[in-house]
Amino acid sequence: MKAIVYTAPEQFAVQDVPIPSIGPRQVLVRVRRCGICKTDLHIHHGRFISQFPLTPGHEFCGDIVDVGAEVTEWKIGDRVTCDNTVLCGYCFYCRRNQPLYCQNFYSLGCTGPGGLAEYVAVNADKAFPLADHVSYDQAAFTEPLACIVHGIDRLDPCCGDKVLIFGAGPAGNLLAQILKHCGAALVVVVASTRWKLDLLNRLGIEHTVLMDRDDYARHTNTVKRLAPEGYDIVIDATGYAPMIEHAFQFTKMGSKVLVYGVCNEEDTITVNPYWMFRNEITLFGSFAQTHCFDRALSYIERGMVQVEPLITHRLSLAEYGRALELLAEGKHNLKIMIHPTD
């Protein structure tokens, strides 16, 4: 089969490799779509939790074409979306019912072979069935949406909260869409790309503010006017560390600040501890997801979160280099969908 194979960071090619053999409790999935995101760019540079050699691709769906000897719940031809996480079940955190913190955290597309290939082997308990009306395009969004669901679990928003999101990429967009269903009274998205904000407006997010990267005062005034007391929840979905510091000024007493975007490992921010103390600020992160797939899929199945309008590019495995260039440039794309088998 054809697959993207990295031998080391930044060293990849489309190679012919054997179709993965499956264990007794695994299924073989023919990949129909694999979305890519900024995480794949971090992996390309050897950052995040990447391990090499590697076939990336952590946002995939497709058709079951083979089932292991002990698999009774799936049959050949079933359409599925796949949770890429594999938890050990026996480490300190797994046995504390905190599987996302698994000390042996294994992730298809990050530490093990993922979906940027014609076929991928998946544990049977990590496949989720697709309703007939759910397209492969939609299903490929289950993983990024599941990560958002986990982020919202962490946030634990309250009814009537005012929410401010920096960034209108796929993460900022999906966060805004879901938060509207989680009781937020006001969702404001700030970003520097007009067309991404226009899309949010079309998807029902009323309040968007264009950021002028050379003159922060312009958006700052508008954003403060929309919630003069400050925002209950402030989210960074840019992964740009200075933006997190900038975002602090839009908080109020008791605010929660969520670091959602993936910054570089060496980035630092400055936080005033007296400000945190005096205002009871909660600052926290959200990393990946596990056990959030079924809820993410419900949003997609029921049309409550619209994902297809986010697709801006469709590329083949052979065009992966171009896909990475687009990701790095960022201004002219949202979701880049790779079609490994057509």
Give the footprint of Zn ion on this chain (CB under 5 A).
Answer: 37, 39, 88, 91, 94, 102, 104
Give the shortest CB-165-to-Zn ion separation in angstroms: 18
CA dihedral defined by 174, 322, 33, 292, rounded to 10 degrees? -30
- DSSP-derived secondary structure letter, 54: B
Asked if 255 contacts 279 with a C-beta cutoff of 8 angstroms, the reply is: yes
Give the shortest CB-340-to-Zn ion separation in angstroms: 16
Q: Report the C-alpha gap between 156 and 232 in whole angstroms.
A: 11
- Is the CB of 39 or the CB of 142 nearer to Zn ion? 39
- Is the CB of 32 or the CB of 219 nearer to Zn ion? 32
- Is the CB of 91 or the CB of 226 nearer to Zn ion? 91
Give the shortest CB-68-to-Zn ion separation in angstroms: 22
CA dihedral defined by 53, 315, 237, 191, rounded to 10 degrees? 150
- Is the CB of 188 or the CB of 323 nearer to Zn ion? 323
Give the shortest CB-338-to-Zn ion separation in angstroms: 12
List strand residue ranges (DSSP E) for the chain, in order: 2-8, 11-16, 26-36, 59-67, 79-82, 85-86, 106-107, 119-123, 127-129, 162-166, 186-191, 207-210, 231-236, 251-259, 282-285, 311-316, 335-339
Give the shortest CB-86-to-Zn ion separation in angstroms: 9
Q: Report the C-alpha gap between 6 and 56 in whole angstroms.
A: 8
- Is the CB of 248 or the CB of 320 nearer to Zn ion? 320
Give the shortest CB-145-to-Zn ion separation in angstroms: 10
- Is the CB of 36 or the CB of 211 nearer to Zn ion? 36
Asked if 317 contacts 33 with a C-beta cutoff of 8 angstroms, the reply is: no
Give the shortest CB-147-to-Zn ion separation in angstroms: 7
Q: Report the C-alpha gap between 38 and 130 in whole angstroms.
A: 26
The C-alpha angle with vertex 258 and arms to 150 and 210, in degrees rounded to 5, equals: 110
- Is the CB of 68 or the CB of 99 nearer to Zn ion? 99
